Structure 1
């Protein structure tokens, strides 16, 4: 019987295991506190040193002190062990401390299984394709470590190949279970509230410069895929909070309208736009729909400002099926709503009244005054910029009469203020405008850079009508996506016409980025967002409509995959897995070429005696090789050094 030495003392196994753990914990550098990650790195480096200098490893009181230090760091950073961050940190610290007391094979298994948990915890932070591929790779390395532990004298490459084969065989079954196993949504009380998972974006208030802060952000907000025609850029207004009240600087929502349900839906006409909206995690309950939404899911409601709100947990990606119309009439409005839309923080100043008078705001119909005001923005010396001057006092008047440099929030607030001075109900609407089309996947990407503010004016027999004063001064902001145009308009860069080579390089990079974003979009929709609703929709297209059918199909597919794998394993040619035997077979092949083949049932010693008679000049080498092989193959304490010695003897042997 072959007796293996303790794997916990094998340097190659320890190096392989510690390297695997380093790869597993590495992505958590972005999520764990610096002190926690640094403490783990200290433990890992310490354990690496212990491979060659075991006496340097902590024991007894020193190990207890390290454990207490880990607990203190954990508590001071998270005030507990619950939640995503606290739980992940606990597992990482436990993994690092366990490395300090590797004594036997059981410890290696425990560390390996704990490392699998730490690897899976990475998905609590990031679920991209690249991260999934990385986690699959590190899990393959972990599995190879188990193979290494259980295969004495195996090579690293051999262990990795075997682990890769095992994972490749498991993937078809995993895909079948993922698609067909009933999706059970976790109850909300079971989900830990981690604020770091949410993303900051558009606010429920506005003051000059607030949207400007988002103008340079490339952070994704949501993606939209239309069933039919995609609306042109000038119709891509994604409705968010409606701001009615102002103190002269800051605009906020009217709480009663934001909480009340819509009294009567608008009257829609024209072309309906049907689309799927995949919204990124956020800390609000807003659903940004194409203006104006007509149909939406049951978990979504519409308030009195026609903004969509949801009861879903938007701290994770959520998908909605919506229908909107670009042509609509909101009809009559309540007296309270009209009164709030005429509110001013104080009596209008002389300059404001004079400008309204000049533009015939007091002596003409609202439509004429609106036209005059838009022409005023176009014809006077107004400028659109991302970097307007600071306007702390009377921002509206400072913008209109002094600086005349502003962003969409400046134009919207000034427009609404002048409307109200003329006693015309008006309000600010915030949201997003535009969206970059991905021609590969035919979907729109809306980012924080497209944050926008526009105006709604109440007109008799038409209801709330949208006007965008930004379009009057910077039509390229509405008609085109903000990229080079945004930077040039803001004075952030000077535009220089690129060479043909540079243009070709940019085109290639753009196409590559579009391909990647399309892959990421489909990954998020069909893998990450594959919940019970999407599963039901997907499977029903194949005629799988109920729970019993799902179970039957899953069982049948798993049985087929199992049968195929069984046939493959049964009929494949057996290969020697013993490393010692593989090396000895090279010796046999050399002798076979000289016409000296080992007979069936002939022992290694008998074969060696017969060969020595035929080639007596190599008798000493044959005796050395045979003795080394027998010691490794049937000895009580085989070593990797002995295997290397056998390999060298056979390499030097010549017939």
Structure 2
């Protein structure tokens, strides 16, 4: 105990307040990044004032003062958010309540209430961040709150080391219960206390519209979009096209996705040639699922649309995990002789005033090559692959007619510039074309054996319709910058020589501090991935799968009760076994074991005849002989032999003889009731 806070222990009602003034700020600390600054200042000021009152021995503010402060804080919260409901305003009010409860603390009850509110603060941290670091930090905050509660209810001051040990032991004991409830308790779809405003905001870079320059802006975004574990051989990098959005509609500048198409079934293929994988997707606030081209097996809660875009039945507002499979060789519509007329019209549409210079050049191509669509495609790719076109990570801004300006003036762009311009050229030539956005490449993590796709790995490519072949993938990036497809962003970054983010480099030109930082980043991502795939991605679907493997139904309350009973019952058995194994056992001497057997045999019909633990054997034998005269001689002889065997100076042979004599005397005592007993003379 520090002398400064001696007043807290001089007054039993304030015992534990010192530790509460430490534990509660620790619990509230992560909210600094998610709450307005005045909330943090208010909490810090209230704690500082309460600490000063404790040191000086002054009384807490009056009820009137506290009521006025509470009204002011509630009013400020309403002004800040326009409501007092929801994640952020609700958490702000909770922090204010804790600050004022500490400020008005006068007795043990007030401290206990403040500490229990602190547990709620720890829970609200997960509304804003669910990383493994926050999980570890919340354990620390919970341990401090628990230690403060122990001190509050103690009758004396407890040393800090002992408090830490007791709090840690309590958390360790609670861990199995937490795991059982985590697995068995019905999962809630989506985030707790969902905020509509948050649900409307995408968290990844891909959106339902594409303008030239959109994907290039994502190059600085090193945050993770998707992590993938392969159940089969990992496909080569050039085949790793992760299809997310299919865009057919074009207004002259912007491409947009159409989700209103009919649902189809994946084409039947040879399952031995499929690439199976499990993906962990970060929240997107959208419905699309990035899948490896071409989708062949889908998750149960997803549909395949006619344009081969995979959509979930609800928005992805929390981290999910799904399993799927792809057929790398069978494009959509393969083998079909013709394209649906309505779909053909959509895939050929161009605004009348769009790209006049491009239309004129395509007309020359068509006049040269006639009906040979592949020759037209090759003309466009050769144009992109020739000078002065260049692939740049920092494309210039386009104005007016973006296609003509890009093709005939700037001639420098990123993947979406080439994909958009290629689609316009093909449509002008009468070849149905659409734009696909998703991810390509990624970074293979040898630590953990998984593929990490960042938002910076976003990519755009095309599909053209060729009768009899279906929708064939054409990636103009492969013509202008093949290293982007063969080596990913790392190869492209080396080739351009432009000022690029450090995470895109392969280690060349990095200082040892930068290399150390990216090495730590790999470890952090590995730990975060395991945390996400094992804990955060345990959604209702995965819970149903787990229950199904056990022959139970996660939606049936009886199955839930069975799972809880089995879980807690197993935990009780393990606890009993643990206690039993840790209980020290001393093997009794053989004579002592025979004495205990004799005592139990006599007490079977009369409990008063049992020997008391500290009762001498000869005294006990005389007491029993009064109740059982028929055994008087046997009991007297047993007591004499027992005392000689235990306390006499005998040789090993003599001890063995005396022990055998005790066994004979025990056999002379009948197992039946006294009425059935027949006295047997003592052997001389």
Report the TM-score when normalising by structure 1.
0.79
Quote the residue 1:344 is aligned against. 350
Q: 1:224, 1:275 within 8 Å by CA — same for their partners in 2?
A: yes
Offset, 1:155: 2.1
Quote the residue 2:43 is aligned against. 40
Quote the residue 1:295 is aligned against. 297
Alignment partner of 1:465 is 2:472:
yes
Unaligned runs of 5+ in 2: 1-8, 554-558, 586-684
* More off after superposition, 485-494 vs 361-370: 485-494
1:520 to 528, 535, 539: 528
Alignment partner of 1:201 is 2:205:
yes
Offset, 1:8: 3.9
Offset, 1:529: 2.0
Give me the whole-angstrom Cα distance separating, in 1, the residues matched to 2:327 and 2:508. Answer: 42
Q: 2:188, 2:539 within 8 Å by CA — same for their partners in 1?
A: no
SS of residue in 1 equivalent to 2:330: strand
Offset, 1:556: 3.0
Alignment partner of 1:232 is 2:236:
yes
Quote the residue 2:223 is aligned against. 219
Offset, 1:186: 3.0
Quote the residue 1:553 is aligned against. 566
Quote the residue 1:355 is aligned against. 361
SS of residue in 1 equivalent to 2:220: coil
2:151 to 141, 148, 153: 148
1:397 to 392, 404, 408: 404
Quote the residue 2:12 is aligned against. 7
Quote the residue 1:441 is aligned against. 448
Identify if the C-alpha distance between structure 1 residues 499 and 435 changes in structure 2 by more than 3 Å, giving closer, same or farther: closer
Quote the residue 1:534 is aligned against. 542
Q: 1:261, 1:301 within 8 Å by CA — same for their partners in 2?
A: no
What does 1:369-388 align with in structure 2 at a 5 Å threshold? Answer: 369-388=376-395
Alignment partner of 1:251 is 2:255:
yes
1:477 to 465, 481, 484: 484
Offset, 1:558: 1.3
Identify if the C-alpha distance between structure 1 residues 310 and 348 changes in structure 2 by more than 3 Å, giving closer, same or farther: closer
Give me the whole-angstrom Cα distance separating, in 1, the residues matched to 2:143 and 2:27. Answer: 11
Q: 1:437, 1:444 within 8 Å by CA — same for their partners in 2?
A: yes
Give me the whole-angstrom Cα distance separating, in 1, the residues matched to 2:77 and 2:515. Answer: 48
Quote the residue 2:246 is aligned against. 242
Identify if the C-alpha distance between structure 1 residues 531 and 242 changes in structure 2 by more than 3 Å, giving closer, same or farther: closer
Offset, 1:71: 0.5
Q: 1:300, 1:309 within 8 Å by CA — same for their partners in 2?
A: yes
May I ask how many residue pairs the two structures share in their alignment?
A: 562
Give me the whole-angstrom Cα distance separating, in 2, the residues matched to 1:493 and 1:314. Answer: 31
Alignment partner of 1:25 is 2:28:
yes
Q: 1:539-567: CA deviations, max 9, x gaps? A: 66678886576345313321123315645
Offset, 1:224: 1.3
Alignment partner of 1:311 is 2:313:
yes
Give me the whole-angstrom Cα distance separating, in 2, the residues matched to 1:313 and 1:551. Answer: 31
SS of residue in 2 equivalent to 1:327: coil
Unaligned runs of 5+ in 1: 573-655
Report the TM-score when normalising by structure 2.
0.76
Give me the whole-angstrom Cα distance separating, in 2, the residues matched to 1:185 and 1:326. Answer: 35
Offset, 1:189: 11
Identify if the C-alpha distance between structure 1 residues 245 and 362 changes in structure 2 by more than 3 Å, giving closer, same or farther: farther
* More off after superposition, 133-142 vs 186-195: 186-195
Q: 1:218, 1:447 within 8 Å by CA — same for their partners in 2?
A: yes
Offset, 1:375: 1.6
Q: 1:231-287: CA deviations, max 9, x gaps? A: 21111111122222222211123x4xx212245644656831111121111211111
Q: Which has the higher contact order (CA 8 A, sep 6+)?
A: 1
Give me the whole-angstrom Cα distance separating, in 2, the residues matched to 1:459 and 1:430. Answer: 20
Give me the whole-angstrom Cα distance separating, in 2, the residues matched to 1:569 and 1:106. Answer: 38
Quote the residue 1:178 is aligned against. 182
Offset, 1:55: 3.9
Q: Which has the larger radius of gyration?
A: 2
Quote the residue 1:620 is aligned against. none
Over the aligned positions, Cα root-mean-square deviation in angstroms equals 3.1
Q: 1:183-217: CA deviations, max 9, x gaps? A: 31336798533533751421111111111121211
SS of residue in 2 equivalent to 1:244: strand
